[in-house]
Amino acid sequence: MTVAWGKISAGEVLDGIDGTWISGNRQTTLTGISTDSRTLAEGDLFLPLNGDRYEGHDFIPEAIQHGAAGIVVQNDWLNSKYRDEYPDPFAFEFRDSQSVIRRPSVIAVEDTLKALGDLAGWWRRQHNVKVVAVTGSSGKTTTKEMTANILGPENRTLKTQGNFNNLVGLPLTLMRLSPGHQKAVLEMGMNHPGEIARLTEIADPNIGVITNIGMAHLEGVGDIDGVVRAKVELIEKISPKGRVVINGDDGRLLRAASVFQKDMTTFGLGRENDVRAHRILDSGRKGVSFDLQYQDKAWPVELKVPGLQNIFNALAAAAAVLCLNEPAERIVEGLARFKGVKGRFMVNFLPGNIILVDDTYNANPLSLKATLESAGLMIDEGSRIIMGLGEMMEMGDEVIPAHEEAGRMVAGSRVDYFLAMGEHARDMVKGAVESGMSPACAGIVESHDEMTRKISQEIREGDLIIVKGSRKMAMENVVDDLQSAFGGVKEP
């Protein structure tokens, strides 16, 4: 069968989860699912989750008052002190759109997070869709967006929105599948072992993509070998009928993947890759072009987004789409339409012939290296690069060496003026100065406002500004303030 919100009943939800019926009407129709009582709509199924700073079950009364038609609760909550506080916790009534007073249907489970994933996996299997799942240390969001752009409206494609790439976000994304969808492109993130394995079980992808391996999320996995083990969980758990797409230029990834007997397609610049780029032409701020080679055939590709790292992202997307047996011409057209992703090496043009590179969504040593290399190819002779770099999060035991290495990378690039911010800003500046950057050109700032002010004071006509940092550093505030200070973004 094909399920859809507005048609599925509360009783049918039990088909997807290991739960026990508690109360209410099994025939109650559910119009959606929500884990947040603040955004819950009338008729939704409310599935409360436990967080570090909150207990989702505390918001059950609010959810019912907002019109929750069904609720999934944990057994331990049902049998806990809350039963003393609410002798009948489901006695809350709400009036629906026809002014009929109803009570919600209630299901109890052992773990609501597991139930969310189980329900999403069941929901995915009820829809006849092809699923592409993308993970990697960097480039996964851009690769996901490129893939979805290629498949486009012709394939009625569902894709991950924002950062909905974890054990909560991916299931909620999957449960947006409707009978009209033919394809789904999902991003899978991780910060601890086992997460990619679980996400793969839930998504059951036809195609699994690993963009690369780098120093990211070390706090949760220990070291680079831990990153490898975490990422190849996708290969281990993907169905025997699925196909894996991996970066064939990443030797560490290639060796780890070879252990598994799964069908694989490789992408990269090396001649041994199945999908590769040839005759690369970097046009700086205008973008890059190359010939896409596959099975002794070649097609010219033009990317309007700059950055050599986008060649790898485009190759990964192309390989995934080719594995879906889509025509190469669709790949060429989709990549030509791609305009970039905010916060991922997004190039903005400011008055005074100034380029502002917004690379603020995240940062790790691998993505920093790609950013510096690409930016160095975008400036004209006589122009300078000014960089504002926020701290890199989740570096674990490597936090100090990683930030010192970041400073060394900055010093070894074409950056002329460097500002660092965050708890480990001093380590970044130390690495830069020890690698030859003048102390007068490498400094520490304490706030977004200070960084904006110092960049504004230093900038000259024709310069290029890079702003980058991990998500928690909110470096987009600097980008927004610089755009305001210079009178907004203009057409190139």
pLDDT the model gives residue 224? 84
331/23: higher pLDDT: 331
480 plus 365 within the same structural domain: yes
446 backbone dihedrals φ, ψ, rounded to 5°: -100, -10
The whole-number average pLDDT for the span 233-240 is 96
The residue among 352, 314, 375 whose CA lies nearest residue 460 is: 352
Residue type, 4: A
Take residue 85 and report the two structure tokens written for it. Answer: 């506080």
Same-domain status, 275 and 417: no
- Domain boundary residue, one of 318, 337, 356: 337
Sheet of 442-445, strands arranged across = 346-350, 354-359, 464-468, 385-390, 415-421, 442-445
Identify the band that residue 111 occupies on the pLDDT scale cut at 50, 70 and 90. very high
Structure confidence at residue 474 (pLDDT): 96
Q: Do 40 and 46 contact (CB within 8 A), yes or no?
A: yes
Residue whose pair of structure tokens reads 């040593």 in the numeric block: 365
Most confident of the ranges 80-89, 270-279, 388-397: 270-279
Find the CATH number of the domain harbouring 39.
Answer: 3.40.1390.10
* 492 — pLDDT class (breaks 50, 70, 90): low
Closest CA to 318 of 183, 164, 209: 209
> How much is the pLDDT for 413?
96
Residue 27 covered by a domain: yes
Model confidence pLDDT, tens digit, residues 356-381: 999 999 899 989 999 999 999 898 88
Single residue among 309, 337, 365 that ends a domain in this structure:
337
Q: Which domain, by its residues, includes 53?
A: 10-115
Q: What is the CATH number of the domain that holds 436?
A: 3.90.190.20
d(CA 129, CA 126): 9
Pair 238, 139 in one domain: yes
Instruction: Examine residue 76 and state whether it is found in any structural domain, yes or no.
Output: yes
- Same domain, yes or no, for 191 and 316? yes
Residue 338 or residue 284, greater confidence: 338
Query: Are 321 and 354 within one domain?
Result: no
Lowest mean pLDDT among 94-108, 112-126, 131-145, 379-393: 94-108
Q: What is the pLDDT of residue 280?
A: 95
pLDDT tens profile 237-257: 999 999 999 999 999 999 999
Question: Which range has the worst mean pLDDT, 77-81, 109-113, 430-434?
Answer: 77-81
Classify residue 440 by its DSSP letter: G
Sheet with strand 288-294: strands edge to edge: 157-159, 183-187, 130-135, 207-210, 243-247, 263-268, 275-282, 288-294, 297-303
> Whole-structure pTM over 0.85, yes or no?
yes
In a domain, 492, yes or no: no
3-state secondary structure of 339: coil
CA distance 463 to 275: 36
- Same domain for 424 and 481: yes
Strands 288-294, 275-282: pairing kind:
antiparallel
Give CA–CA dist 466/451, Å, rounded: 12
Q: What is the pLDDT of residue 191?
A: 84
121 in a domain, yes or no?
no
Nearest residue to 233 (alpha-carbon basis) of 304, 323, 133: 133
In this structure, is residue 480 part of a structural domain? yes
The verdict on 168 and 301 lying in the same domain is: yes
Question: How many domains in the chain?
Answer: 3
Residues 148 and 249 in one domain: yes
Split at pLDDT 50, 70, 90, the class of 195 is very high
Q: Choose among 143, 213, 154, 235: nearest CA to 185.
A: 143
| pLDDT-above-70 percentage for the chain | 94
Q: What are the pLDDT digits (tens) for 137-193?
A: 889 999 999 999 999 877 799 999 988 999 999 999 999 999 999 999 999 998 899
Cα–Cα distance, 436 to 430 (Å, whole number) = 10
Q: Are residues 96 and 133 in the same domain?
A: no
Q: How many CB atoms lie within 10 A of CB 333?
A: 14
Q: Are residues 442 and 301 in the same domain?
A: no
pLDDT at 82: 55
Is the domain of 163 the same as that of 206? yes
CATH number, domain at 219?
A: 3.40.1190.10
Label residue 271 exposed, middle or buried (CB < 10 Å: 0-12, 13-18, 19+).
exposed
Residue 3 maps to a domain: no
Q: Would you say 134 and 165 are in contact if contact means Cβ atoms under 8 Å apart?
A: no
pLDDT value at residue 377: 87
Computed on alpha carbons and rounded to an integer, the radius of gyration of the chain in Å comes to 25
DSSP 136: -
Cα dist from 394 to 229, 380, 440, 454, 477, whole Å: 17, 35, 30, 28, 21
Is the pLDDT higher at 60 or at 451? 451
C-alpha to C-alpha distance for 163 and 216, rounded to whole angstroms: 16
In a domain, 122, yes or no: no
**Residue 214 above 90 pLDDT?**
no
**pLDDT top residue among 209 and 227:** 209
Higher pLDDT pick, 434 / 228: 434
* Domain contains 120: no
pLDDT of residue 87: 55
Alpha helices in 417-489 (DSSP H): 425-434, 448-458, 476-485
- Where does a domain end: 92, 115, 138? 115
Whether 81 shows a pLDDT value over 60: the answer reads no
User: In this structure, are 208 and 333 located in the same domain?
Assistant: yes
What lies within 8 Å, CB to CB, of 349 at 6+ separation is 355, 356, 489, 490, 491, 492
